[in-house]
């Protein structure tokens, strides 16, 4: 009886701590450099590891973030990612980096990272940045926007999973760098996902959700939504 209770207690204790962690798991060895995964079928978390004998310094290396990204997109911004797909040594490390370039009035449009918080550093320019809280408990309240104008040297954090954006309000190009606490943060750009999905969402769904005429939805869904 006592043994059974002890076993139950141990089983509960084994489960409880795992309930508190929703982040990338800590690495269990020095590194696990991601290997070309084209032949593998199932990935539970991250990628399979390269044979350590075949690992080189280049697996932990990325070059080119000194160069501006191509900002001639409809939104006037470009995100250059250094995620695990660009740097295999990031596998299991729970961290990544991006460079973001903005034309004048360029926008990194409202998006979320389902798996990461993001800390953004402004190197050049003037950015209006913000994030919006999840739905309030009180039905009489609205979601809250936390926003600020950032200048070179300023740092701002976007909490995990919340809608956020950066808008270049300056007359010159702007440059920012951001680090995210996932090797593969994921990006859901709201407009692209909602209006540009393949196949498209049934327009009545979006007309009702956004409380607008279906013609507006038809127009939005006809636009050439492309991933930045
Ligand atoms: C290691 O590299 C060698 C030489 O490139 C290659 O033949 C071998 O298949 C690699 N082994 C693994 C496990 O990747
Ligand atoms: C930048 O992107 C535009 C639009 O996608 C493309 O036409 C142009 O060739 C690109 N410029 C460079 C330098 O890659």
Which residue minimizes the CA distance to atom 14 of ligand 2? 70
| Candidate of 67, 69, 70 to mutate for ligand 2, largest count of ligand atoms within 8 Å of Cβ | 70
Confidence (pLDDT) at 19:
47
DSSP β-ladder status, 174-180 and 118-124: antiparallel
Q: What is the pLDDT of residues 17-62, one digit of tens each?
A: 444 555 676 776 778 888 876 666 666 667 888 899 999 999 999 9
Q: Which residue from 186, 180, 23 is spatially nearest to 117, judged by alpha carbons?
A: 180
Q: What is the pLDDT of residues 126-175, one digit of tens each?
A: 999 999 999 998 888 999 999 999 999 999 999 999 999 999 999 999 99
* 11 pLDDT above the threshold of 80: no
- Report the side by side order of strands in the sheet with 118-124: 77-82, 96-102, 174-180, 118-124, 155-158
Which residue minimizes the CA distance to atom 6 of ligand 1? 54
Ligand 2 center to 134 CA (angstroms): 36
Find the ligand nearest to 39 CA: 1
Residue 27 C-beta-side C-alpha neighbours within 13 Å: 18
| Candidate of 51, 52, 58 to mutate for ligand 1, largest count of ligand atoms within 8 Å of Cβ | 51
Decide if 124 contacts 175 (C-beta within 8 A): yes
**Which atom of ligand 2 lies at the shortest distance from residue 70's CA?**
1
Distant-in-sequence, close-in-space partners of 59: CB < 8 Å, separation ≥ 6: 33, 50, 87, 88, 89
Q: Does 227 contact ligand 2 (Cβ within 6 A)?
A: no
């Amino acid at each position: 009886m006592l043994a059974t209770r002890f076993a139950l207690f141990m089983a509960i204790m084994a489960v409880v701590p795992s309930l508190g962690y929703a982040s990338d798991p800590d690495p269990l060895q020095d590194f696990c450099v991601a290997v070309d995964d084209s032949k593998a079928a199932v990935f539970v978390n991250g990628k399979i590891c390269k044979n350590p004998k075949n690992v080189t310094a280049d697996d932990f290396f990325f070059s080119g973030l000194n160069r501006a990204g191509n900002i001639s997109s409809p939104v006037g911004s470009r995100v250059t990612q250094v995620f695990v797909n660009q740097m295999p040594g990031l596998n299991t490390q729970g961290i990544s980096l991006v460079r973001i370039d903005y034309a004048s009035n360029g926008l990194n449009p409202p998006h979320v990272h389902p798996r990461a918080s993001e800390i953004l550093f402004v190197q050049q320019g003037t950015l209006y940045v913000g994030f919006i809280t999840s739905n309030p408990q009180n039905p009489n309240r609205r979601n809250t926007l936390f926003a600020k104008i950032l200048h070179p040297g300023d740092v701002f954090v976007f909490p995990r999973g919340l809608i956020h954006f950066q808008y270049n309000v300056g007359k010159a190009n702007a440059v920012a760098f951001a680090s995210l606490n996932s090797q593969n943060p994921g990006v859901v750009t709201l407009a692209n996902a909602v209006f540009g999905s393949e196949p498209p969402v049934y327009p009545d769904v979006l007309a009702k959700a956004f409380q607008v005429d279906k013609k507006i939805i038809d127009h939005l869904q006809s636009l050439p939504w492309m991933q930045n």
